[in-house]
Each structure stands twice: as C-alpha cells, then as structure tokens.
Structure 1
Amino acid sequence: MLQHLAGLDHVVIAVADLEAAAAAWRGLGFTVSPRGEHGAGLGTANHTIMFDDAYVELMGVVADTPFNASTRRRIAEGGGLERIALRLGDAAAAAQELRAAGIAAAEPLAFGRPVVLEDGGSTEARFDTLLWAMDPAPAGLSYFGCRHLTPEAVWLPGLLRHRNGARQFRRVEIQVDDPATEAAGYAAMLGLRADNPAGGEWVVADPRRGPAVAFLDRARFTGRWTAAEGAPRAGLVFAGPGKGAAPRPQAAGGVLLGWDDALPG
C-alpha cells in the first residue's frame, strides 16, 4: 500500500444549487457547515457534513475556472458524486509514489478558505492537495489527495452532532457495469486489495482508516438501495443511532443516503 495516501478522507458531491443541496441534507437531519468560499482561483464554494474521521463535501461553482472544469461537467450531467479525496501525508512523497506506479501526479497545491467558528469568530482552514490523472479512471471519477494542515478548523465539535443520530460515515457504494475491473483499478492505484464479499460487489478498504469504497453491478446496487430507473448511481452509507427502525434510503444532492442497518446484505 502507498505510505503517503491512507484511506478515504472525503467525497465531493457536485451540485448545481449549493444552498438547495445543503437544505436537503439539513432536512434529513444532518448538521451542515456554514458556506465556505474557495477563492477566485478555484471558483468554487462548499458546505460540509462532518464525521469523526471523514466527511461529505457539497461543491458548487461560483465562477468558471480551469480548476473546476470537471465539476462543471459533472453538474451538466446532472450532478452527484464527482471526486474521492484520499487522506494525504507528505504531498511530495505521495507524488513520487504515484509516479513510480505509472500514475501522472501533478505538483502539490496549497490553498486555504475562511471558516466561521462556532463562537462567531473566524479562522482559515489550510490544505495541501495533490491531483493526478488516470485513463480510464475507476468509475469515471476524479481522485486527489488532501492533507489537513488545520484540522481543528474543519472538524468543529458542533458539526459532528447530527439530529438524525448519524454517527459514522461507513462506506461509498457506486453502481458500475464491471465491478471487478473498477475495483481492481481503484485498489491498484492505492496498492490495496479488492475483496468480493457478495455476487456483483467488490470492496476496497484501507485497513488504516476511512470509509470503504464498494463497486456494485446494477442488480446488486438496485437490490440494496431499491433504486428506480434514473435514480443516483452512488450511495453513501452511515452508521445510525442503533435504536428504532432505520429510515429507508433517500436522495439528496445527486446521491442516495442510507443506514448500514437498513440496507439488505
């Protein structure tokens, strides 16, 4: 496994209407961060839904830039899961690891965004990021590394408590035509192993940390998510409060949301 990329850090959901997407998540009982602006060079803004060791980022475009071209393409296609961010250690060392594996890694990029604190003050969240290109890319997504230089500005305590009782971001499930091939590509990218726990399903999990990423064929995905034709082809699985009947999967911002104890095995 790669030493400087360790498991899923967050997923990026591209949305046409950022405030409507944030409202949809709030309506389902999730705590959503205040809006963050990434600056003129990136041309994007976000809201986050935070969990102990990973999170969901809702991403909208505020100005067309070369950086957000893939986000704009995904929105034009209807929005939804666009990118998976891996937890980044040393950015330069990770770039060397990827290049040694034949993956075209760009030069690391540092940036920051202002953050409104819970006491009304403000600070800056700062990141090192690393982008790379793959052709074909597993599941047609984009991938990058993200190192949190100021995690205390991102994992604010109040953002970790959700009214619906969600406790942990467990897994990403993606419907694809060929789960074995897509999972093998994702696993090879990170030097991990793809497991086949059920027919039509391949899973890649980093034993060090982070939610697992699962690739499912249409029959398996539809069966687990009771997804109708035209429904989102990606689902995010959360650990629920563990009491009472878990709600059925619901859609928000171009993805399906479900509880691990409510999805059929």
Structure 2
Amino acid sequence: MANNINGLDHAVIAVRDLTIADAAFHRLGFTLTPRGEHPEWGTANHCIMFRQDYIALQAAVGAGEVADELRAFTDAHEGLHGISLGTDNGAAVIERLQSLGLDVPLPRSLSRRIDTDQGQATLMFSETLLPMEATPGIHTRVTQHITAERERFPDWLVHPNGAIGIASVTAIVAEPVELTAAWDLVLGPHRAVITDDTVTLHTGRGLIFLSKPDDLTQLHPEAELDELPPAPALVALAVLVADTDRAAQWLTHNDVEFSRDREGTIRIPPSEACGVHLEMVKG
C-alpha cells in the first residue's frame, strides 16, 4: 500500500457513558473487550475486535485534550467521531506525508491499560492526528500497534452476530469530488473513485464513502436526512458478518429494531447503536 498505510485500522464511536454503550452493543451481538484506560488522553474505551481491524467505543473520563474534544462532540450527539489508518511503521508514514508537503506532526506514544484473564496488561501504540487538510471531512489518525500480539485474545474475536470486520464508513461532506486530490495524496494515486457525486476511497482494507447529505440515501436508503449532524460528519458504519440470517435472528431475539433489503443487508437505526447508522452485510 502507498505511503506505508495498510488500510482502515479502526473506527471510533464517541459515547457519553461506556456502561450504557457496552450494553447497547452487547444487545446487537458484539463481544466487547474489558474497559481500557488511556491515561495520556483522559479517555476510556471498550473495543469490538476483529482479526484485522476493530471498533472502539470511547468516552471522556478524565482531563486531557482528547477528552475535552470528545466531551464537546458528545454534548451535541453520540456517534462516529473518527477513524484511524493502520501502519507497521508510523515514522515512515509521517516522513512520507511530510515529503509530500503535508504538515503532519511526529508520532506520539499512547498506552491503554486493560484487565485480562492473565492480569492487567498495558498495550502500546504510536498515534498521529493528521491535519484536516490531509483527510478533509474525516477526523483521521494513523496508528501503529507496538504490542499487537497482546490485543486479540481468541474469545474477543467471537461475536454472537457473526461479525468479522469493518466493510466501510460513510461521511457526509459538502462537495465530495473536490476532496479526491487530498485523499489520493494520503492513500496513494487513484484510490479515490468517483461515481456521480459520491466518492469511494479504497484504503487497502475497508472503504470510505464520501457523500453529499442529500445523496446519503443512495448509499443508506433508510437514513433520516433531517436527523443528520451538520456536514462534515461521519454518519454510517457497515460491518461484515458471516451470515446475515444468523445476525438477524440474534437481533430479533433481543428485540432490536432493524430492517433488511432483498440482498439481506441489515440496517439498524442510530437509536439502537449510539448514534450510528449501522449496517450488517455479508462478508
């Protein structure tokens, strides 16, 4: 992959209360990790782990710049707050992006303390927040997992709904086509594909869709346009599942509101998923 970026690493859902969010996503059929703490950021999370990517439910719990940012976000609404692109060499990514003329800061160390069956573990990461002009419309970090071997216990990868990974995230922006040059700089040439006024970004693992607000229902037919946050904003997340029938059975058992189309895609409203338009698609 260009610029040492491997693809979509994780998506962050900002929530006000981790206990409530944990219960909501358990009800949707996801297995969540124990609570982890980021002392450098003043935040905490539960993660939904897949083999190559994951979803983080994140909340502000203390003092810190990132915690303040999350609080400002959740004062308005819960929902998708940002994404992270994965790499095996964060320093190389930054050096490459800087050589392309982007004002990208040096990577910073981040830790997450988490309780496991083997005791407390400290997971280490290298994180860099990209400037908005680099990935316009989407709050984006680059993440290198320093202790990747400690992050995926087998039990964490088994989800009752059969989820196996992230398929895509969708953002609403004013003019998607105008953003393609910036994203191609970060992801590599020709990674942005234009279809009418919608842009598909091929990250190498997972897709990013950029849509005008009024065009969102072309991608997500049941999205409530009058309930969308102001653009730019991340609004939808699609998860790959092994069997959509199995996922539907779990949701029905738990009295979750959802719909299905003729291809079997499951659509869950934001009221059931902490402000996210959540879809489950055949993996």
Contact 2:3 2:186 in 1 (8 A): no
Aligned to 1:101: 100
Q: Aligned runs of 1:168-207 on 2, under 5 Å?
A: 168-192=165-189, 193-196=191-194, 198-207=195-204
Q: Distance in 2 between matches of 1:199 and 1:37?
A: 43
Q: SS of the counterpart of 1:221?
A: helix
Q: Name the structure 2 match of 1:33.
A: 33
Specify the alignment match of 2:213 in structure 1. Answer: 218
Please name the residue that 1:258 is paired with.
279
Q: 1:157 to 1:89 in 2, by over 3 A?
A: same
Shift of 1:114: 1.9
Q: 1:47 & 1:236 partners in 2: Cα distance?
A: 17
1:133, distance to aligned residue in structure 2 (A): 1.6
Deviation string, structure 1 residues 65-94 (Cα, Å, up to 9, x no partner) = 124343233222313222211112322222
Q: Which amino acid aligns with 1:57?
A: A
CA distance in 2, matches of 1:18, 1:187: 35
CA RMSD of aligned residues (A): 2.3
* More deviation, 44-53/76-85: 76-85
The share of aligned pairs that are identical, in percent, is: 30
> Which blocks of at least 5 consecutive residues in structure 1 are unaligned?
none
Q: Contact conserved, 2:18 with 2:59, CA < 8 A, in 1?
A: yes
Distance change (3 Å), C-alpha of 1:216 and 1:12 = same
Give distance in 2, aligned partners of 1:75 and 1:106: 26
Contact 2:135-2:186 at 8 Å conserved across structures: no
Instruction: Say if 1:93 and 1:137 are closer, same or farther in 2 by CA, change over 3 A.
Output: closer
Name the residue aligned to 1:133: 131
Higher helix share: 2
Are 1:15 and 1:59, in contact at CA under 8 Å, matched by a contact in 2?
A: yes
List aligned pairs for 1:1-265, cutoff 5 A. Answer: 2-39=2-39, 41-117=40-116, 119-135=117-133, 137-139=135-137, 141-192=138-189, 193-196=191-194, 198-207=195-204, 210-225=205-220, 226-228=222-224, 229-231=226-228, 234-242=235-243, 244=245, 245-251=264-270, 252-261=273-282
C-alpha distance in structure 1 between counterparts of 2:171 and 2:50, whole Å: 20
Aligned 8 A contact 1:183 1:215 in 2:
no
- Matches of 1:243 and 1:212, distance apart in 2: 20
How far is the alpha carbon of 1:248 from its aligned partner? 2.8
User: Cα distance 1:224–1:4, how it changes in 2: closer, same or farther (>3 A)?
Assistant: closer
Contact 2:244 2:280 in 1 (8 A): no
Cα deviation, residue 200, structure 1:
3.4
One-letter identity of the residue aligned with 2:50: F
For residues 17-70 of structure 1, what are the alpha-carbon distances to aligned partners after superposition, in whole Å with 9 as ceiling and x for unaligned?
22212211111111111110111x310001111112111111100123124343
User: TM-score, normalised on structure 1?
Assistant: 0.87
How many aligned positions are there?
A: 256
- Alpha-carbon contact 2:41-2:66 (below 8 Å) kept: yes
Question: 2:124 is matched by which residue type in structure 1?
Answer: R
Structure 2: 5+ residue stretches without partners: 246-263
